[in-house]
Chain A
Amino acid sequence: MPYTELVIAVDFAIIILTATLLSIIAQKTGQPAIVAYLFTGIILGPVVLDVVSGSSIVELFSELGLAFLLFLIGFEMNFGVIKSILSSVIRISVYQTILQTILAFSIAYLVGFTLMETFIIALCTVFGATPVIVKILSDKKEITTVAGRINIGVLIIQDIYLVIILAIFNAESLSSPLNILISVLWVLGLLALIGAFAIVASRYILPLIFDVVVSYNKAFFVQAIAWGFLFVSLTEYLELSVEIGAFLAGLSLGQLRYSAELKGRIRPITNFFMIIFFSSIGLQIEGSYILLYWKEALFSSVVLMAGNFLIMFYLIRREKFDMETTFLGSINMIQVSEFSLVVGALAVSRGFIQEEILGYFSLMAIGTMSISTYFIYYNKQLYEKIESYLERFRLPDERNVKLEALKNHAIIIGYNEVSRLIIPLLKERYGKVVVVDNNPHKINIKNEEKVSYIFGDFFQEELQQETSLDEAAFVFNTTRNIYLNLMILQEASKEAITFLRAESIETADEYYREGAHFVIVYDLITRQKITDLVIAFLNNPEKFKSLASADIEKMK
């Protein structure tokens, strides 16, 4: 039977297998996973083996990957936080774009490209690589740090700039300044409209439609995906940036009370698409002229990376952020984006530059992205190493916008009478208590206990991160799901005290063996009391009455 015909793209299977193999090697040798994915594409693509060509499904998934990544990032952004750094971010991005364009222009001119080429190269190489930065930062849980937010802000504004450039390239006639102006205004107007819609929706529409389905697991998830796709389709239809559409969709969902839960559900899909996305970058690189400009590319990459860092460092410091934020915010943004390939290809098709120059772009993009991965990955360590040298740049009046991190706190999963009972005890000891519950109706609990409440299924890595499970000192799970309990035992810090719940003795025994400190088996704890009650009822009615009435009082 010809099942063979039906197998979804063999390409796809080869990419997955290669990526797995390379990421095992990467993990064992301490390399970031992204480098493994990038090399997957390079090895399988035209540069080395030329066995995978990038079928339509690979193309679809990598496009979805970028959209989902930005969708997810939108979730991380909170209006309030954005507002507090918005003006700084806009100033940084505007100056960064100008300074970096000048830098890229000078470098390209210096290495001997023609004026037109230099101009295009400068336009193409100002962008930071959103997927690389965002992916690593969110893997490292640094998206929500101040530096992370500055990076995202700058990248989003760069995205808008990119859309404008694409619009200019696509404009009917480049010669008429009026045409250019019209297309730029058109793009900005549409983006503003969509943005306004997203904000209005997050206030008035989304809470309404999500409250309806929040209790229905699947409907809830599908609805969020549908919302994302609506924005992606809309922006794609209007030939705007899909990334910005996805970001705005995520941003509007991120303001909902349920965002942690949604994030957790969407993250794995995003990871899946991103693997394909990073691999597909390598697949796009033409092998024939990749080494044509290797000297120029090498020189430009080094100068550009150093220059990018210095520019960002200067600009963030100008905004008086603290030293660590300044350093991290700049070291994260030193690479050339894969967008340079897209814009470059467009420029080739319009006849502005020769095709060979794409080799220069490719080499620079792939090289700077791979190298910068290490810088982002080890940014903190690097900072610690050179912190003392940076002392002299400290400003007397730098801002300290430190965000509070959870540590040595208590986590309670499931909000019920038992949790209420122990919240005061834990609060007294640990100060901070986080309650996670997947019942949306409990989200409105009267917060007399002053605990943070998070809606969601604690299974998700996202929620475990959000509540800093690995930093918690005490974990109390009132639910009895065996998988959840085992997961907690695996993921919590070894020092954390864990209280779990089991239904049977066997399960309880298993939890103890896995390291639980106390396992609540209700039947075991209560069996003597209930037996005593029954016997008292038969033998000593007076005693029964006094025992029972106290409990019944509690129920009322």
Chain B
Amino acid sequence: MFEIILILTLIFVAATIMLALTAKAGQPTIAGYIIAGFIITFFVEGENLVDLVQLGILFLAFIMGVRSGSEDVLVIAKNGLKITVILLPVIFIVAFGLAWLLGLNYLNATYFSIAASLSSTFIETDLKTDFKELNLVHRKLAESINVIEDFIAIIILLLISIVPLTAQSVGMSLGFGIILFFLSLLIRQKVFPWLARLVKQSSEFIMLLGLSFLAGFIGLCVLFDVSIIVGAFAAGIALSKSPYNIKLLDTMGSLNEFFSAIFFVTLGALVKQPDLEFIVYSLLIILITLIVKPLLTMQLITWEGYNKRTAVNTALQLDHVSEFALMIAIQASLMGFINSSLFNAIIIASVITFIVSSYTSRYNGHIFNVVQRFIHQGRTVHDEQDAKVFANLDHHVIVVGYGIKGRSIVKALHSNEHAVLVIDNDPLHYESLRTSKIPFLLMDAHDEITWKTAMVNKARLIVVTPHIQTVSETVLRLDTEASIIVSSYDILDARHLLSLGSAYVNVPFILACDDIKKAVISALNSNPDDFRKLNQKELQRQKSDED
């Protein structure tokens, strides 16, 4: 017992040191953990921790399931569906072909392809991020691709556990998968809410409930000889119903953090002496992950109607090995299925891609300048509009962002008979803009070409409505006579924008402070229930206004 506690102490001390270093350097957590693992190999054998590593995998897969099944994630998932369904198989087949040429057997080739093609990760993102409210198009798109990848990864996992590969066994496993899926849906919709209401919702009990379903689903998987990761993920889906999942994410989130630290550090500790094969494998995985996959992603995204900037930014969020690949690799390694050079290669490649990826996201602007000429822009929406409309623009107002504020401004400008042009990079606004007959560009406000097309040199006023500092700064640096109004949530940023020459900065709380103060005073001095109903009605009114 003392030995294992000593190992745990070593793991956490090493992880602490590495995390402090990597966090300071802006590096991802996973890289910190795995490097901590390399360090402790001098003191411990990773094999001692098999049980705890297993738990780490299960918690990780479980939390992934809880996250993937929650409403806000499902809502945004559809954005990237088409892209992922093409992207993933293409990369997978390319990688599989390569692996086969290198002489890997079917199972190892699959592990190799999983590592090269999947990129979903959630360990860096805050579990309680509300995806519906993400306002950056590329973030939304990247998260959406991540979620769909998770589901596809689970299907792949289900398939590779089929041995022997006969029609009957394939049917059995798929049948089991489908039953498991429906079982988790049933629990998600009916059983879990019922259980959560049945008893007082202490977080301890919710945790116990979570653990029970986890144990139960894993039991089923063991019975049917399917990877327990599938079971853990399905258990997560089963318990993903909002709002009951909130407490679960909080309590199980802590457990997950504890065990995933052990998991990733041990992963690093399991890496052995490198050999030639290892170098070839890892180079190939890195090549596919950092070059081939991002380029293909960018191309697919622009073909979907997004602009190049969004495409590049999205792809640069996905240029690393997935933690799913790590989970699958370590399981395969514990069972002795995976070639040890390949196992090492996957882990090393993941560390390298995680580190590089943090830089590619940081320097996305430079990368965009280099790669944009290699991407073919598909149909651009403004092509469909009359070219003369843009040529004739003069003394016009350019409104960036077609959200609540943007729409209100555009409407007022329109009724005051000012010429307007809208710039927004989210294709979701396409329909409403097209029907409103207002000239618009579905392009990114960071790009020079956007402004050229928008005839910025003839514009009278530019209004930036999203609170995105980089957009505001880009606009303020444009070579134009037009006056500029920008937006910012932060007062320090606002000051900076004023110093850059903006005519006005929309800082919401300054504009809203009187209203909020008034609301607080009236809440304190009126019947709370009447106050609530009044506000609710007011929102309903504004909602119908919007529609």
A residues with CB within 8 A of B: 1-9, 12-13, 16-17, 19-20, 23-24, 27-28, 33, 56-57, 59-60, 63-64, 139, 209, 212-213, 215-219, 221-223, 225-226, 229-230, 232-233, 236-237, 265-269, 271-272, 275, 416-418, 421-422, 425-426, 429, 459-461, 474, 476, 480-484, 486-487, 490, 495, 497, 499, 502-505, 507-509, 512-513, 515-531, 533-535, 537-539, 544, 548, 551-552, 554-556
Contacts and interface: CB of A to CB of B under 8 A. Distances in A.
Interface stretch (B276-284, B310-318, B444-452, B524-532): B524-532
Interface string B401-418: 001110011011100101
Contact of A24 (B199, B461, B463, B532): B199
Given A271-B207, A504-B133, A525-B515, A482 B219 contact: no
Nearest to A512: B536
Interface in B504-542: 504-513, 515-517, 519-521, 523-524, 528, 531-532, 535-536, 539-540, 542
Given A6-B335, A63-B1, A429-B524, A13 B219 contact: yes
B225 A483 contact: no
Contact of A486 (B246, B531, B532): B246
11 contacts: A139-B202, A213-B20, A266-B254, A268-B250, A269-B255, A459-B128, A502-B133, A509-B539, A523-B508, A524-B542, A530-B408
B510 to A, nearest CB: 5
B163 interface: yes
Interface in B11-55: 12-13, 15-16, 19-20, 23-24, 29, 32, 51-52, 54-55
Contact of B163 (A1, A544, A556): A1
A534 B219 contact: no
Contact of B246 (A271, A474, A487): A487
B252 A17 contact: no
A537 B5 CA distance: 69
B513 A418 contact: yes
Q: Which secondary structure characterizes the binding site on chain B?
A: helix
A218 B133 contact: no
Contacts of B246: 459, 483, 486-487, 490
B504 A482 contact: no
Contacts of A221: 254, 257
Given A486-B246, A509-B543, A268 B203 contact: yes
B249 interface: yes
Interface stretch (B210-218, B298-306, B473-481): B210-218
B495 A556 contact: yes
Interface of B: 1-2, 4-6, 8-9, 12-13, 15-16, 19-20, 23-24, 29, 32, 51-52, 54-55, 58, 72, 126, 128-130, 132-133, 135, 161, 163, 195, 198-200, 202-205, 207-209, 211-212, 214-216, 218-219, 221-222, 225-228, 242-243, 246-247, 249-255, 257-258, 261, 331, 334-335, 397, 403-405, 408-409, 411-413, 416, 418, 460-461, 463, 465, 483, 485, 491, 494-495, 498, 503-513, 515-517, 519-521, 523-524, 528, 531-532, 535-536, 539-540, 542-543, 546
A268 B23 contact: no
Contacts of A504: 132-133
A482 B216 CA distance: 30
Contact of A518 (B19, B135, B198, B523): B523
A534 B212 CA distance: 58
A12 to B, nearest CB: 8
Contact of B221 (A3, A484, A534): A3
A221 B54 CA distance: 21
A268 B503 CA distance: 51
A266 to B, nearest CB: 7
A136 to B, nearest CB: 12
Nearest to B506: A530
Contacts of B161: 1, 3
A482 B9 contact: no
Nearest to A532: B412
A534 B463 contact: yes
A226 B13 contact: yes
A217 B20 CA distance: 11
Contacts of A230: 9, 13
Going nearest first, the 5 A-B pairs with the smallest beta carbon separation are A226-B12, A216-B23, A522-B508, A219-B19, A13-B215
A495 B12 CA distance: 44
Contacts of A538: 397, 413, 416, 418, 460-461
Contacts of B258: 225, 269
B511 A525 contact: yes
Given A63-B1, A417-B510, A503-B135, 18 more contacts: A3-B335, A7-B54, A8-B55, A13-B219, A23-B205, A219-B29, A222-B19, A225-B258, A265-B257, A268-B203, A505-B543, A509-B543, A518-B532, A526-B512, A529-B511, A534-B412, A534-B485, A552-B504
A519 B539 contact: yes
B435 to A, nearest CB: 20
Contacts of A483: 128, 130, 243, 246, 249
A337 to B, nearest CB: 20
A484 B202 CA distance: 17
A9 to B, nearest CB: 7
Nearest to B537: A512
A461 B246 CA distance: 11
A495 B5 CA distance: 48
A516 B15 CA distance: 42
A139 B200 CA distance: 13
Contact of B12 (A3, A13, A59, A222): A222
Given A271-B207, A272-B207, A417-B491, A461 B250 contact: yes
A20 B206 CA distance: 10
Contacts of B51: 8-9, 56-57
A531 B412 contact: yes
A233 B219 contact: no
Contacts of A56: 1, 51
B506 A526 contact: yes
Contacts of B465: 530
Given A6-B228, A16-B211, A271-B251, A216 B19 contact: yes
Given A222-B261, A268-B255, A499-B520, A461 B243 contact: no
B409 A7 contact: no
Contacts of A519: 535, 539
Residue among B1, B58, B195 with most chain A CB within 10 A: B1
A41 to B, nearest CB: 15
Contacts of A503: 133, 135
Contact of B517 (A422, A459, A502): A422
A3 B226 contact: yes
Given A269-B258, A525-B512, A530 B405 contact: yes
B516 A555 contact: no
A107 B403 CA distance: 79
Nearest to A242: B5
Contact of B212 (A20, A28, A232): A20
A226 B9 contact: yes
Contacts of B55: 8
A460 to B, nearest CB: 7
A106 to B, nearest CB: 37
Residue among B247, B460, B521 with most chain A CB within 10 A: B247
A524 B200 contact: no
A268 B516 contact: no
Contacts of A556: 495
